[in-house]
Structures are given as structure tokens and as C-alpha cells.
């Protein structure tokens, strides 16, 4: 009897399983039909438009617009690169391209693109181009009024090809002609490293493209050997990420072999992987502080987050960007490539730092960050509380300095840039970046330049006062408060001289940065910025107080 009952139960289970499989098959088959149907409809629409639309269609533009609209409904990291744009993808993956090695910017007053910052050791700098040079022609093509995108496309090309460049240089009467050979531009991923007071090493890591782990390792070993550093600051601010393996390699310098650093999870099995440290570390004891901000993303968050989860470094700064998505390139017909998001990554505590759920949009299609109230608590190796869903939250948060409104207008009108160009014309050399300072005479020259340029800018206080006055009049308070309003309006009156003096410290900082770049390039600019850096100050404070450093990385005892 028991045997008959078990047979019946088995039969029922088989029937239920068959039903589940059947309905799963139907669901899968229905989805396949919907996919095939919509592809067929899309093809039919393209063909009908091409045949009957009143104007002749460009098939490349029409289909590309359809592809772009489809991808825009997903996330901003899933992109299609047709054959002609493969160089853009290569630059993204490898951090290199064929060009002259210079930042360019558009000057609205001149209606021309100008050389903004030649990179040290690159063709632009080696041949003698300078910041401020106005690009007139490229291979005889007039660049007047052309966007920076168009100018950039003409500057870039196949490695070892040459072209003619005509520029106008401030202070020089006639245009200057250059013949430049394009080279493979691989920007340094460690543009500067050095030692700070208290035997603290500093490494600026600005990208995970190319081979940053090699450059980082060389810098770290040099600091240990020649500078005898006892602790380390890793600056990841503004580092938008890059190659996953490179981040894991750098983590491995500081943690033992066999540690799980990243786990990726996707829809397909091949998108799910576990990445562990594979080599013996360089130094598992040196105290580390990592500087982060809102521009720290992707692989940078893996490096910072893994060392935080493993209680191996103190994180200093502001919350990071929150990109926990992984992309891989997929080959397409006719030489195209699809860079597609295939998985999410999870750092050692098990948390994902992704801050935006691109599958969840409101009725108008808008996105928002995951609110803190919906995030989940995880724990570091030592048991400290950390959260998912919103980037990496620093162990020590530093309030960002708010720059005055006048600075944005000075930058937008190119007055900081123009003064640095004028300064460089009159000063063949300057003091080393570490000791360079702007004199009061120099700053007075800058103020004269600003006033002679008919500089105009909005003051937020004046706007708010006007709104307050209108509200007071509407509510009937203006008449009784006429005298007080008049006194306040007088105090808030537009006074350029006063503002240039009141905000002199902030303005001088930007002026010094722009000037130093003309002589010492990116390395000099970083040295200049570090002179008054609140994040760095906090990092140095914690590294020079080891007991406090250990306390941050441990769980508070009740």
C-alpha cells in the first residue's frame, strides 16, 4: 500500500513538473515570438520609410537614431560603436588614441578653438604648441567657428600620419605653421607621486585604462625605497574607472593572496565570475588613506570599496559616484561593436555600489538615486557597518568648499586663461611648482585685465534680495520696511573691486593653477592644487595619528 501511495505521489510530481516546464516553454516561446515580431516590424518600417517618405532618407542616420533611442531606454553605458567609431572604443578601453596630445577648448569671443593644455612629452608640446594658441587651419581647412568636436576629429587620425597646422599666437604678429606627426597618445595613469610631511607617500591615480597597476607599483616601490615612506595616500578623485583587472591587481598589492575582491552576477552564466587576489602582496601593513569624490567611479570604487570592506584603508572625502555595472564588448556585423552591460559587481562585504536602478523610472521616464532608507546594511571584515546602493561613503567625510559665484563667470569668460597666457608671454621661467606664488603686483594686473574687459556677472545675493523685495511688496510689508530694505540694498550693491578683493584667495588659487600648468604641465597643476587641499589635510591628520587610524578601522566596543 505504501509503495502504491509513493508511486502515485511520484506521478503527481512528474505531472506538476511537466506542467511547469510546459508553461515555462510557452512563456519563453511567447517572448521569442514578441522579439521576432518587433524586429520584423522595425525592418518593415525602415523599408516603408525609405520607399515612400517624401524626402530621401540617409539609412545610416535613420537606423542609428533608432538604435540610439533603444539604448537610451537602458543605461548610459550600453553603447553601439559602428565600424567608423572603433577608434573611440579603443581609446576608452586602452586609454590611447592617435593624435597630438592636447586639450582644446572653444573661445566664444574669438570664434575659434584654442590649445588649452598640451600634455608633457606629447607631439603638441614637443613641437612647440602653447596654451592659448588659436587654431586657424588644419591641412588648409578653415576652422573658424567649428566646434571642438570637429576640430578634434581633424586633429586625430592614424598613428604616424602627418598634417599641417596653422595657429595664431598671442603677442606674435604673423600666424605660425607647424607640421605635426600624430602619435599614439597614452596619457600617464600616475601623473604625479611624491612624499608629504610626516613620511607620507602620495600617489595620484587618474585612470584604470592602459596599464595603471604597473605605473602604480613603480611609484609605490620608489616611494618606499627612496623616500622611506611610512604611510600612503592614494588619490582617486575624478578617476572614472576603466579595467576591472587593473583595480584588482592594485588591491592585491596591499592584501594577501586568495582574498575575494569582486563578484560579478549577470543573467548568463559567463557573466558571473569571482575575482580573487592571485599574487603575494607588496605590503600588508602600511597605513593607507584613499581620497574620493563624486567623480570616483567604477573600477575606482572597486579599489576604494574593497580596501574599505577589508578594513585595509581609511576612505576620506565625499561619497563616490555609484557605478556598480560591468560592460563587455560584443562584436557585431560589418565591423561594429556593442559595449553592453552584462552584470553587476559586488565587493568583499557583498554590497553593490550601484546608485541608480535604470530599470525603475517614473511616469515621465526620469531616474533617481536609490534613497538611503532603501539601502541594505553590510559589514566589513572587522564588522564595521557599510551600506550598498549609493557609491562608497567615506569613513571621514570632508565638506566641500563652495566656490563664489564670481569664479564661474571669470572661468566662463576665459579671463583666468587669458591672464595666464599673458603672464607666460612675459615670464620665460617661474619658480618650481612647489614654491610658486602670485605676487600682489601680479594680482593687481589681473584685476586691471578684468575691469578693462567689461566683465559682467550675476550676484546671487542681488537676485535673492529682488525676490524678497517682490514678496514683501505682495504681502504688504514693503512700505513699513522701506528704510531697512534701502539700507540692505545699498550693502548688496554690485561692487567689482570689492568682490575681487574679498574672493582674492579663491581667485589666486585658480590663477596659480593655470599659470603653473604652462610651465610644469599636469604634474605641476597637481602639486599646486595640493597646497590647499582639505581632503589631503584630513588624510594626513589621520595617517599621522595611528591610534586614531586604527580606531576608525575597528568596531567600537560597548
Residue-level pLDDT at 554: 94
User: Is 426 contained in some domain?
Assistant: yes
Q: Are 181 and 161 in contact (CB under 8 A)?
A: yes
Residue 22 scores a pLDDT above 50:
no
Examine the domain organization and report whether 437 and 331 are in the same domain: no
Final residue of a structural domain among 384, 400, 416: 400
Which strand ranges, in their side-by-side order, compose the sheet holding 396-397? 192-196, 200-204, 231-235, 288-292, 314-317, 396-397
- Within-domain flag for 6: no
- Amino acid 454: pLDDT: 83
pLDDT digit string (tens) for 43-100?
A: 999 899 989 999 999 988 988 999 999 999 899 999 998 887 777 777 766 666 789 9
367 with 232, same domain? yes
* Average pLDDT for 394-403: 91
Question: Residue 4's pLDDT band (boundaries 50, 70, 90)?
Answer: very low
List, for residues 151-190, the tens digit of each pLDDT value: 999 999 888 999 999 999 999 999 999 999 999 888 899 9
Q: At 216, phi and psi to the nearest 5?
A: -65, -45
Reply yes or no on whether the pLDDT at 15 is more than 60.
Answer: no
Compute CA 521 distance to the chain's CA centroid, rounded to the nearest angstrom: 20
Q: And the C-alpha cell for 456?
A: 559682467
Residues 301 and 385 in one domain: yes
Q: What is the signed CA dihedral for 288, 292, 297, 303, rounded to 10 degrees?
A: 10
Of 15-19, 281-285, 531-535, the one with minimum mean pLDDT is 15-19
- pLDDT value for 21: 46
How many CB atoms lie under 10 A from the CB of residue 45? 12
Helices (H), 270-319: 299-309
DSSP SS3 for 379: strand
One domain, residues 232 and 129 = no
253 lies in a domain? Answer: yes
Indicate whether 304 and 363 sit together in one domain: yes
CA–centroid distance for 391 within its chain? 14
pLDDT at residue 489 in the model: 66
Asked if pLDDT for residue 368 goes beyond 90, the answer is no
CATH code: domain of residue 344: 3.90.226.10
Q: Could you tell me the CATH number of the domain that includes residue 129?
A: 2.30.42.10
Same domain as 415, residue 312: no
**Cell numbers 525602415: residue:** 46
Residue 5 in this model has a pLDDT that exceeds 50: no
Per-residue pLDDT for 493 more than 70? Answer: no
Q: Which of the four pLDDT bands, split at 50, 70 and 90, describes residue 2?
A: very low
Give the range of the structural domain holding residue 295, as residue numbers without chain letter.
192-400
Distance CA 400, CA 391 (A): 17
Residue 420 and residue 536 in one domain:
yes
Same-domain status, 429 and 354: no
- Within 10 Å of residue 111's Cβ, how many Cβ atoms? 12
Closest C-alpha to 82, from 104, 112, 61, 103: 61
- pLDDT score of 10 more than 80: no
Residues 152 and 300 occupy one common structural domain: no
Structural domain count of the chain: 3
Same domain, 214 and 326: yes
Residue 450 vs residue 482, higher pLDDT:
450
pLDDT of residue 498: 87
Q: Name the DSSP letter for residue 369.
A: B
Which is more confident, 479 or 238?
A: 238
325: nearest Cα among 361, 394, 271, 368:
271
CB-CB contact of 74 with 80 (8 Å): no
Q: Are residues 104 and 214 in the same domain?
A: no
pLDDT of residue 492: 62
Q: Which of 351, 377, 400 is the last residue of a domain?
A: 400
- Whether the pLDDT of residue 459 is over 80: the answer is no
Least confident of 219-223, 319-323, 335-339, 382-386: 335-339
- Same-domain status, 118 and 155: yes
Q: Please give the pLDDT value at position 33.
A: 85
Q: Specify if 556 maps to a domain.
A: no
Catalytic site residues? 298, 309, 323
pLDDT tier at 195, thresholds 50, 70, 90: very high
In this predicted structure, which of 68-72, 140-144, 192-196, 365-369 has the lowest mean pLDDT? 365-369
Residue 187 is predicted with a pLDDT of 84
SS3 category, 93? helix
pLDDT at residue 227 greater than cutoff 80: yes
Amino acid at each position: 500500500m505504501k509503495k502504491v501511495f509513493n508511486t502515485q505521489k511520484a506521478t503527481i510530481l512528474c505531472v506538476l513538473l511537466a506542467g511547469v516546464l510546459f508553461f515555462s516553454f510557452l512563456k519563453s516561446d511567447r517572448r521569442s515570438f514578441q522579439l521576432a515580431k518587433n524586429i520584423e516590424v522595425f525592418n518593415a518600417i525602415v523599408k516603408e520609410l525609405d520607399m515612400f517618405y517624401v524626402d530621401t532618407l540617409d539609412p545610416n542616420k535613420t537606423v542609428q537614431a533608432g538604435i540610439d533611442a533603444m539604448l537610451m531606454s537602458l543605461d548610459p553605458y550600453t553603447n553601439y560603436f559602428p565600424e567608423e567609431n572603433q577608434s573611440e572604443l579603443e581609446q576608452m578601453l586602452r586609454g590611447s588614441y592617435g593624435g597630438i596630445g592636447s586639450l582644446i577648448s572653444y573661445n566664444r569671443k574669438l570664434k575659434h578653438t584654442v590649445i588649452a593644455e598640451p600634455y608633457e612629452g606629447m607631439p603638441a608640446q614637443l613641437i612647440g604648441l602653447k596654451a592659448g594658441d588659436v587654431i586657424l587651419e588644419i591641412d588648409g581647412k578653415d576652422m573658424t567657428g567649428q566646434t571642438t568636436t570637429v576640430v578634434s576629429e581633424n586633429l586625430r587620425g592614424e598613428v604616424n600620419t602627418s598634417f599641417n597646422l596653422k595657429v595664431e599666437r598671442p603677442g606674435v604678429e604673423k600666424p605660425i605653421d607647424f607640421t605635426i606627426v600624430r602619435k599614439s597618445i597614452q596619457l600617464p595613469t600616475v601623473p604625479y607621486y611624491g612624499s608629504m610631511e610626516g613620511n607620507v607617500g602620495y600617489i595620484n591615480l587618474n585612470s584604470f585604462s592602459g596599464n595603471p597597476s604597473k605605473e602604480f607599483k613603480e611609484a609605490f616601490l620608489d616611494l618606499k625605497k627612496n623616500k622611506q615612506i611610512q604611510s600612503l595616500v592614494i588619490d582617486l578623485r575624478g578617476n572614472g574607472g576603466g579595467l576591472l583587472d587593473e583595480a584588482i591587481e592594485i588591491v592585491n598589492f596591499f592584501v594577501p593572496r586568495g582574498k575575494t575582491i569582486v563578484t560579478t552576477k549577470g543573467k548568463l552564466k559567463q557573466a558571473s565570475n569571482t575575482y580573487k587576489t592571485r599574487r603575494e602582496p607588496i605590503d600588508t601593513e602600511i597605513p593607507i588613506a584613499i581620497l574620493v569624490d563624486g567623480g570616483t567611479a567604477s573600477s575606482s570604487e572597486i579599489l576604494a570599496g574593497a580596501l574599505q570592506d577589508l578594513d585595509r584603508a581609511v576612505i576620506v572625502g565625499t561619497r563616490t559616484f555609484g557605478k556598480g555595472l560591468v560592460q563587455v564588448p560584443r562584436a557585431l556585423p560589418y565591423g561594429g561593436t556593442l559595449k553592453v552591460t552584462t552584470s553587476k559587481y559586488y565587493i568583499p562585504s557583498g554590497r553593490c555600489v550601484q546608485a541608480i536602478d535604470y530599470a525603475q523610472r517614473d511616469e515621465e521616464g526620469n531616474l533617481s538615486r536609490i534613497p538611503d532608507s532603501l539601502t541594505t546594511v553590510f559589514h566589513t571584515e572587522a564588522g564595521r557597518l557599510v551600506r550598498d546602493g549609493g557609491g562608497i561613503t567615506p569613513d571621514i567625510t570632508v565638506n566641500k568648499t563652495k566656490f563664489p559665484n564670481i569664479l564661474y563667470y571669470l572661468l566662463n569668460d576665459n579671463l583666468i586663461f587669458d591672464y595666464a597666457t599673458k603672464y607666460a608671454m612675459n615670464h620665460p621661467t617661474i619658480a618650481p611648482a612647489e614654491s610658486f606664488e602670485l605676487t600682489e603686483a601680479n594680482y593687481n594686473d589681473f584685476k586691471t585685465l578684468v575691469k578693462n574687459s567689461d566683465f559682467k556677472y550675476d550676484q546671487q545675493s542681488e537676485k535673492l534680495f529682488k525676490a524678497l523685495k517682490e514678496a514683501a511688496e505682495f504681502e504688504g510689508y514693503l512700505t513699513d520696511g522701506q528704510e531697512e530694505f534701502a539700507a540692505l540694498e545699498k550693502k548688496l550693491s554690485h561692487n567689482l573691486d570689492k568682490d575681487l578683493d574679498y574672493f582674492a584667495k579663491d581667485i589666486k588659487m585658480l590663477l596659480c593653477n593655470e599659470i603653473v600648468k604652462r610651465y610644469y604641465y599636469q604634474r605641476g597643476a597637481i602639486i599646486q592644487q595640493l597646497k590647499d587641499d582639505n581632503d589631503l589635510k584630513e588624510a594626513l591628520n589621520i595617517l599621522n595619528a595611528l591610534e586614531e587610524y586604527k580606531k576608525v578601522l575597528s568596531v567600537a566596543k560597548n
